[in-house]
Amino acid sequence: MRTGPIALAYPENPEAIAALARSVSELTHAAADCVDACVLWSVAIDHTLHNAPGSATPWDWAEPLLDAVEYLPTAQRQQRWVHLIEEATTADPRDFTNNGWVVHAFQAALAAICSTPVPDGPCHGMHVQLVLEKIVRAGGDTDTVAAIAGALLGARWGVTALPFQWRRKLHGHRVYNEEVRHCADLERLARGVYMSGDPTNPWPDRETWLPYYEQTFGDRPYRLEISGIEFGNVGALAGAVADGADTVVSLCRMGTDEVPLGVEHHVLGFIDSNEADNPNLPLLLKELVEGLDQYLLEDRKVFVHCVAAANRTPTSAAAWLVHLQELQAKEALVAAGKQLRTWQYGPKAFQAAAVMALEEYELGEGGPS
């Protein structure tokens, strides 16, 4: 059932996805139930990825699965899976106790997704965390069920919905003396599969973006400490690391060799464009500032940066000030821009709105007690 990446290989081509999912399943699990489940889930991931609406709009999780039954080979198997899907949409994951079996694993994943309400307010993407926690509490073969659910949840909410602390802990296993892969590596692999090696787009496998950034935006380094955390631009990255930064949080695309080994590095999907490209921005800022809290508790030296520290970095710095309750959102946005010398640019309107949404969240029921 861990065939989720197949959906990335053929964007909006369900026939090809179904054929590949079938072939991959048959390598190790050739039973009809296993093959059918892989086909349905993989096709549904692709449909969700390309058709799900904005975060605030409800989504029918079962519809893509029901539509995908047409890619099963017989009417009998199609009818059976329609019944299984419809049964799961109104159930609880604990109802499917034999969740090591593919059918119950499929149903438990769908039941957990459908029975977990999407949170109100600006942090709809927390649905990912709530669903996965529900699966773990349901017991049984939790890693399988969570892997199944996570693939479909990711198609709806994106990687920016993952809790920052989960991203820090996620890792693979060492194979043949290769480096252990982490969350950023998985993101890079996923983007590479989706782009299918497009030669016109060297990211995400490019080793470094620094020469391009320096040529395009200049190489004037700038960094500033704000309440225990250093914020700045990409030009200051080398200096920050040389001065002892052991953790780097990048808010822009970065290459594979931008920081030395031993420096913890995260690249967050904060896109400097518009609100539509950043559906989870309040949640991303929430996870970022809570992660910065944890770094300070661990006595780590952190550098947060984007390219020019013109929009994304001051937005993050403002969110940090709001989180610490040092300033209200509007004051924090002005202060961060002035301190980072980017007041002539500053956060864009949608970025400022995300900081204010974070303030509202933290002051409300969802905030810290």
Q: Are residues 228 and 358 in the same domain?
A: yes
Q: Are residues 150 and 10 in the same domain?
A: yes
* CATH code of residue 242: 3.90.190.10
Q: Are residues 291 and 149 in the same domain?
A: no
**Which has the closest alpha carbon to 366: 153, 119, 159?**
119
pLDDT of residue 125 exceeding 90, the answer is yes
What are the pLDDT digits (tens) for 284-302?
Answer: 999 999 999 999 999 999 9
3-state secondary structure of 29: coil
Percent of the chain topping pLDDT 70: 96
| 247-250 and 223-226 beta bridge pairing | unpaired
Q: Which two tokens stand for residue 220?
A: 């004037």
Q: Which residues contact 138 (CB under 8 A, 6 or more apart)?
A: 92, 93, 94, 99, 108, 112, 145
pLDDT of residue 265 exceeding 60, the answer is yes
**DSSP single-letter state for residue 198:** -
Q: Give pLDDT, residue 368.
A: 42
Q: Note whether residue 345 is domain-resident.
A: yes
Least confident among 15-19, 193-197, 249-253, 358-362: 193-197
Instruction: Name the band, by pLDDT with cuts 50, 70 and 90, for residue 218.
Output: confident
Q: Give pLDDT, residue 341.
A: 77
Q: Which residues contact 186 (CB under 8 A, 6 or more apart)?
A: 170
Q: Note whether residue 176 is domain-resident.
A: no
Q: Are residues 203 and 116 in the same domain?
A: no
pLDDT of residue 343 exceeding 60, the answer is no
Q: Are residues 228 and 344 in the same domain?
A: yes
Instruction: Name the band, by pLDDT with cuts 50, 70 and 90, for residue 197.
Output: low
pLDDT of residue 103 exceeding 90, the answer is yes
Q: Are residues 130 and 234 in the same domain?
A: no
pLDDT of residue 367 exceeding 80, the answer is no
pLDDT of residue 162 exceeding 90, the answer is yes
CA distances from residue 231 to 77, 317, 318, 333 in whole angstroms, order as listed: 56, 7, 11, 14
* CATH code of residue 47: 1.10.4080.10
Counted domains in the chain: 2
Q: Give pLDDT, residue 337.
A: 87
Domain region containing 222: 193-363
Average pLDDT of the chain is 92
Q: Are residues 241 and 336 in the same domain?
A: yes
What are the pLDDT digits (tens) for 308-336?
Answer: 999 999 999 999 999 999 999 999 999 99
3-state secondary structure of 230: strand
Higher pLDDT, 179 or 366: 179
Least confident among 73-87, 194-208, 343-357: 194-208
Q: Which two tokens stand for residue 63?
A: 């519809």
From CA 220, how far away is CA 340, in angstroms rounded?
A: 13
Q: Give pLDDT, residue 360.
A: 94
The helix (run of H) or strand (run of E) holding residue 65 is helix 62-68
Q: Give pLDDT, residue 1.
A: 66
Q: Note whether residue 181 is domain-resident.
A: no
Q: Are residues 215 and 78 in the same domain?
A: no
Q: Which two tokens stand for residue 332?
A: 């924090």
Domain end point (choices 157, 179, 213): 157
pLDDT of residue 369 exceeding 50, the answer is no
Q: Give pLDDT, residue 149.
A: 98
Q: Note whether residue 171 is domain-resident.
A: no
Q: Are residues 229 and 316 in the same domain?
A: yes
From CA 191, how far away is CA 46, in angstroms rounded?
A: 14
Side-chain half-sphere exposure of 16, counting CA atoms within 13 A:
9
Q: Which two tokens stand for residue 276?
A: 């539509």
Which residues are bridge partners to 335 per DSSP? none
